[in-house]
A and B are shown apart, each in its own frame.
Chain A
Amino acid sequence: MTDVSIDLQPLSDAVVDGNRSKTVRLAQEALDAGLEPLAIIEQGLVPGMEVVGARFKRNEMFVPEMLIAARAMKEAMALLEPRLAATGYKPAHTVVIGTVQGDLHDIGKNLVATMLKGANFGVVDLGTNVAPETFVEAAGEHGAALIGLSALLTTTMPRMKSTVQAIRDAGLRDVRVMIGGAPVTQSYADEIGAEGYAPDAASAVDTARQLVAV
């Protein structure tokens, strides 16, 4: 590709506005102008979702509004990803995320996954009621830098500890673990050896970035 200069601020704004057709159109125009797909993502789409994330964190946006923005980004990504894949590109960091065994609550976990995708993490969502060994296998398979564990019940929270133990026992020592959920605290994260704790979905991206030192 040639050295191309193009203002991607309108693209970011379209993501913030949740304007799907405009986001896709501007992404296409940037491609047509010769901009690298990765640059469009990193300088156009991700900054837009960062604005969304910050507004969400300040309670200036509701989840439905945040999801509309995320959907706009997703549609543009559908346009860009085949071209990225052709270059062998993968997101710098992949997160394996799931709700621990015995627990079926997934709204909070889903929001975290959405926010992480918006920040251009690769996200492998294992769903709910996930056994420790499934986290371990997925982290190995996808080369995850981070594993995110969610639990809502006091009686499933102890599964976080056994999952962290399984991760360590499997020798995945470079994989960081972050946890969250209603009954979970920073002190519990410290107690079970999880490197990160996020009190809410809006904070999870910051925590994830710190853990992988993006």
Chain B
Amino acid sequence: MSTFTQLAIDDAHELLFGRAPRPLTTRRGMVIGGGVVYPELNFTLPAMLVDQATMDEVRRQYRQIITDALQRAVELEVPGLVVEFETLPPMTQTPAWGIELTRILAEAMEEAYARHGLPSVLRITPNDTREFDRPPILRRGENWQQMLETFEGCANAGAELLSIESVGGKEVHDEALQAGDLPGVIFALCVLGERDMRFLWSRLARVAQRTGSVCAGDTACGFGNTAMVLAEQKMIPRVFAAVVRAVTAVRSLVAYECGAVGPGKDCGYENPILKAITGYPMAMEGKSAACAHLSPLGNIAAATCDTWSNESVQNVRLLAAMAPTCYLEQLAYDCRLMNEALRDGDDAARTLQRWLVRSDAPRDPQACVLTPGNVIELARAIVDAGEPYRAGVAAARRAIDLIERAAEAGELHIIERERPWLSMMRHSLDEMPEDADTFIAHHLAQLDPTRCLAAEYALAGV
């Protein structure tokens, strides 16, 4: 178990796309974070059910997706490709299906390597089905066993990178988001989420060890991106979503403390903070992921990425080709541009990065907290705080400071009716206790056992 007590990158100028202090070398020789940004393609089925009756069609769909995408990757001379297979719930609940589909993808990737020299690596992201039980059963039971079986089977079938969008604490976080309850958010992420991550990732580390695969990383998608989407729909304030994003880094960091080495999962917009702390390479997604969800982070997300992803796109026909192939092409061209800038030297790369940052940062507080300078400040606040609860509070407080500072300097536009939320959030942080034990005891006393089981977080009797 590692603890990060200092930043791997403490200078904003060194926080750049394509470069990580601790790059990852894959089996086929891709060096992620070693000076090249790679496209990372993700895809899903069109509107259809997945069951025994449709499995032939499911196999055909995945075979077509990977064959077409690899062919286009060869034609576009991409330097390497990350393919992410994010299972759908039935594929985790019936591990044999997820494993078989992994094998289909892995075999096609091996063939492209043998025939065309295209290096690629497969990331497996089993859908976290533990929340199918309500309240979620996180540490035992059929869903847990099936998920572990899927991880292990898929790794043995050729998946090299292990990832997940884990859900521990989400049952509490969803309500906290809707209520605009920042202490509730911190309890969900930095107490419940953190404890679940520690349990989950210590077990995934064993799977990786047994199968020769690599723990890549987690994402607070169900937390930070839910906030982002709600803010995009004007249901919660953007300043609140920005603060939530900063806090999510505390939770996602646990994967790296348990042995993950990147690339962090694409939809974790907290990844720049994690890159600064850990030095490991990170996947990111931005405008290229508009097929899956809208965001105010289209350009700035690329500023520190090591792989550049499209999140997920349905396998539907577009004018040019099937959608995954079209998105592979978009990713490939984005990466070409970033790689060309890197080849031209630091000044060129930083110029492109500055444009990526400045084109988004003044327009939304969620982008503002992800400028390289602000990322370093958030990372430092988390590391200096040490313990997860205090780190969550510190990250939230620093995010509020950064947003206020940018707004006062005229570098960030904040919608007028959101301004009171900054002082409201600061006030609620001021009201929180100094020590984690008091905080946890207070929230446990309010926990609704029909929605969340303290025992699933080893908190029963605390």
Bound-state CA distance A59–B232 (Å) is: 11
CB-defined contacts of B230 to chain A, threshold 8 Å: 63, 107
Contact check, B48 vs A158: say whether CB atoms are below 8 A apart: yes
Q: Assess whether B14 is interfacial by the CB under 8 Å rule.
A: no
- Nearest residue (CB) in B for A154 is B47
CB distance from A170 to the nearest CB of B (A): 21
Determine if A107 and B178 form an interchain contact, defined as CB atoms under 8 angstroms apart. Answer: yes
**Do B314 and A128 have beta carbons less than 8 Å apart?**
no
* B89 interfacial contact with A, CB 8 Å: yes
Given that A59-B234, A64-B236 are contacting pairs, would A155 and B50 also be in contact in the complex, using a CB cutoff of 8 Å? yes
B residues near A82, Cβ cutoff 8 Å? none
| A165 CB–B CB distance under 8 Å | no
Q: In the complex the two chains form, is A128's CB within 8 Å of B180's CB?
A: no
Check: A91 CB closer than 8 A to any chain B CB: no
Contact partners of B179 in chain A: CB under 8 A: 64, 67
Q: Is B49 an interface residue, CB under 8 A from the partner? A: yes
Taking CB atoms, residues of chain A closer than 8 Å to B237 are 62
What are the residues of chain A within 8 A of B45 when measuring CB–CB? 154-155
A200 nearest CB neighbor, chain B only = B233
* Residue total for B at the interface (Cβ-Cβ under 8 A): 28
Residue of A nearest to B235 (CB): A63
Q: A183's closest neighbor in chain B, by CB? A: B47
Number of A-B contacts (CB under 8 A): 58
Contacts of B145 in A (CB 8 A): none
Q: What is the CB-to-nearest-CB distance from A133 to chain B, in angstroms, rounded to a whole number?
A: 17
> CA of A167 to CA of B234 in the docked complex: distance in angstroms?
34
Q: Is B257 in the interface zone, CB < 8 Å from A?
A: no
- Contact pattern, A 110-139, Cβ under 8 Å of B = 1, otherwise 0: 110000000000000001110000000000
Cβ of A159 within 8 Å of any chain B Cβ, yes or no, is yes
Q: Could you tell me the distance between the alpha carbons of A104 and B48 in the complex, rounded to whole angstroms?
A: 17
Whether a CB of chain B sits under 8 angstroms from the CB of A95 is: no
Q: Which of A104, A111, A154, A157 has the most CB of B within 10 A?
A: A104
Query: For residue B49, which residue of chain A has the nearest CB?
Result: A158
If A111-B178, A155-B50 touch, whether A62 touches B236 (CB-CB below 8 Å) is yes
Docked complex Cα distance between A154 and B88 (Å): 11
A102 at the interface (CB under 8 A from B): yes
B382 shortest CB reach to chain A, Å: 26
The reply on B90 being an interface residue by CB < 8 A is: yes
In chain B, positions 220-238 with a C-beta closer than 8 Å to chain A are 226, 230, 233-237
Given the interface pairs A102-B89, A107-B174, A111-B178, the reply to whether A154 lies near B49 with Cβ below 8 Å is no
Taking the complex as formed, is B384 at the interface, i.e. its CB lies under 8 A from any CB of chain A? no
Contact residues in B for A155 (Cβ distance below 8 Å): 44-45, 47-50, 88
Chain B window 407-418, contacts with chain A (Cβ cutoff 8 Å), 1 for yes, 0 for no: 000000000010
Least CB distance from A88 to B in Å reads: 29
Task: Give the residue of A64, A128, A159 whose beta carbon is less than 8 angstroms from that of B178.
Answer: A64
Q: Does A106 contact B (CB under 8 A)?
A: yes
A104: nearest residue on chain B (CB-CB)? B131
Q: Does B134 contact A (CB under 8 A)?
A: yes
> A43-72 vs B: 1/0 string, CB under 8 Å?
000000000000000011011110100000
| Chain B contacts for A59, CB-based, 8 A | 234
Which residues of B are found within 8 Å of A106, using beta-carbon distances?
174
In the assembly, what is the distance between CA of A104 and CA of B44, in Å?
18
Please indicate the chain B residues that have their CB under 8 angstroms from the CB of A63 in the complex: 178, 180, 230, 235-236
Report Cα–Cα, A200/B235, bound state, in Å: 11
A154 to B315, CA, bound (A): 11
Q: Is the CB of A128 within 8 A of B234?
A: no
Question: Which residue of chain A is the closest to B231 with respect to CB atoms?
Answer: A62
Kindly provide the distance from the CB of B374 to the nearest chain A CB, expressed in whole angstroms: 24
Does B46 interact with chain A (Cβ within 8 Å)?
yes
**1/0 contact trace for B64-107 toward A, CB 8 Å?**
00000000000000000000000011100000000000000000
Give chain A interface residues in 158-214, CB to chain B under 8 Å: 158-159, 183, 200
Taking CB atoms and an 8 Å cut-off, the chain B residues in 235-258 that contact chain A are 235-237
Separation in Å of the A152 CB from the closest CB of chain B?
10
Residues of B within 8 A of A65 (CB): 180
Q: Which of A75-110 contact B (CB under 8 A)?
A: 102, 104, 106-107, 110
Extra inter-chain contacts (10) besides given A154-B48, A155-B48, CB under 8 Å = A60-B417, A102-B89, A106-B174, A127-B134, A129-B132, A154-B44, A154-B45, A158-B47, A158-B48, A159-B49
Interface residues in chain A, defined as those with a beta carbon under 8 Å from any beta carbon in chain B: 59-60, 62-65, 67, 102, 104, 106-107, 110-111, 127-129, 153-155, 157-159, 183, 200
In the complex, the 4 A-B pairs of residues with the closest C-beta atoms, listed nearest first: A64-B180, A154-B47, A59-B234, A63-B235
**Interchain residue pairs with CB less than 8 A apart (19):** A62-B234, A62-B235, A63-B235, A64-B236, A67-B179, A104-B132, A107-B174, A107-B226, A107-B230, A111-B235, A128-B134, A154-B47, A154-B48, A154-B314, A155-B44, A155-B48, A155-B49, A158-B48, A200-B233
